[in-house]
Amino acid sequence: MAVKLPKYAHWVAERRFLVDPAKLPALDPGTARLIEDLYIDGGRLRLRRITHAATGEQEFKLGKKYAPDNPLIGPMTNLYLDPEEYAVLQALPGRRVTKERYKIGAFVIDIFRPPFEGLVTAECEASNRMAALRFDVPEWCVREVTTEVDYTGWSLAQAQATPKA
């Protein structure tokens, strides 16, 4: 059954790749962000705090990626929060995933922290499936894992372990 676009959501087309860190070009610390996600128990809600390394500025979001029928594209919604709202929600039970994020061209590079040390992924995002398929994939992307559910943030949070290749 096709997923209907829920009210206030938008379509997001993503591709995800495993990265060989030895092949990555130098990462620009000016693009560095620390991303701390809480996948709240009992559903698919994600509470996110983003800290920009260069400025210390923080952003807070409550998001939901709906379970897609196609792993390449699915509906997503975000609600931006103030620090007080974030503080209330971060006390909810759930599972945490922390990563450092850098930008290289059209890709974001995620370097995961424990318990996922050693896992490095790259993602590119577009507004539709065809645009996502047109991205030129860099040589440091060693395997596409877009269709492998184990590499989604939600699945990593549930497993609390890096998937076995």
Q: What is the pLDDT of residue 3?
A: 62
The model carries a pTM of 0.90
8 Å CB contact between 122 and 144: no
Length of the chain: 165
Structural domains of the chain, count = 1
Separation of alpha carbons 112 and 16, rounded Å: 14
Residue 29 lies in a domain: yes
Residue 5 lies in a domain: no
Residue 3 lies in a domain: no
8 Å CB contact between 63 and 76: yes
Residue 1 has pLDDT above 60, yes or no: no
Residue 38 lies in a domain: yes
Q: What is the CATH number of the domain that holds 126?
A: 2.40.320.10
Instruction: Report H helices in 48-143.
Output: 83-89, 129-133
Provide the mean pLDDT of the chain.
Answer: 91
Residue 2 has pLDDT above 70, yes or no: no
Q: How confident is the model at residue 5 (pLDDT cuts 50, 70, 90)?
A: confident
pLDDT digits (tens, 9 = 90+) for 60-84: 999 998 776 667 777 789 999 999 9
Residue 2 lies in a domain: no
Q: How confident is the model at residue 163 (pLDDT cuts 50, 70, 90)?
A: confident
Residue 6 lies in a domain: no
pLDDT digits (tens, 9 = 90+) for 102-127: 999 999 999 999 999 999 999 999 88
Separation of alpha carbons 82 and 72, rounded Å: 31
Residue 164 lies in a domain: no
Q: What is the pLDDT of residue 73?
A: 77
The domain of 118 spans 11-159
Q: How confident is the model at residue 160 (pLDDT cuts 50, 70, 90)?
A: confident
Separation of alpha carbons 91 and 96, rounded Å: 12
Average pLDDT of the segment spanning 34-40: 98
163: preceding bond cis by omega (within 30 degrees): no
Residue 61 lies in a domain: yes
Separation of alpha carbons 12 and 25, rounded Å: 27
Q: What is the pLDDT of residue 133?
A: 85
What Rg, from alpha-carbon coordinates, does the chain have?
16
pLDDT digits (tens, 9 = 90+) for 137-159: 999 999 999 999 899 999 999 99
